[in-house]
Copies of this chain bind each other. A is one copy, B any other.
Amino acid sequence: MFEIIRDIGAITRRIEVNTNAEFRRLGLANNAFIYVIRSYEKPGMFLGELADSVQIDRTTAFRTVRKLVDNGYLRLEDDASDKRLRRVYVAEKGAKVYPELHAFEQHSSDTLVSQLTDDEKAELKRLLGKLIY
């Protein structure tokens, strides 16, 4: 059954290379696009929460977010009640590119599952949702 983790590992790495190449022109390589997408969809996560949600090392995430803030894609806000937290939001530039980022993600996904029937797609999604990690 170990083929499962080998398969998803290879698929993930391949998709990351593709997507990074696609968005390098926007300064969103090195998985930076991920943070824009997630911050757009769930605004206000704090830094560690965002990092954990995508399973990227917190220090790496921290530096990428800082760069995206410098580049105008994201924006940070101190939390009102907990002084440790810094919450992440998309800035205008981030909101503007979101549709393109998500469309590419959608396209990558469509290609990936293109040999599956609709039922199989739904089943795959369901099964992945039951995985423990």
Given the complex of chains A and B, what is the CA–CA distance between A53 and B9 in angstroms?
11
Decide if A26 is an interface residue (CB 8 Å cutoff).
Answer: no
User: Which residues from chain B contact A11 at a C-beta distance below 8 Å?
Assistant: 5, 8, 55, 128, 131, 133
| Inter-subunit contact A5/B127 (CB<8 Å) | no
| Cβ 8 A contact of A106, one of B2, B56, B108, B125 | B2
Q: With a 10 A CB-CB cut-off, give which of A8, A10, A13, A17 has the most chain B CB atoms.
A: A8
| Inter-subunit contact A133/B10 (CB<8 Å) | yes
Given the complex of chains A and B, what is the CA–CA distance between A60 and B123 in angstroms?
35
| Inter-subunit contact A9/B54 (CB<8 Å) | yes
User: Which residues from chain B contact A115 at a C-beta distance below 8 Å?
Assistant: 130-132
User: When each residue 47-61 of chain A gets 1 if its CB lies under 8 Å from chain B and 0 otherwise, what string results?
Assistant: 000000111110000
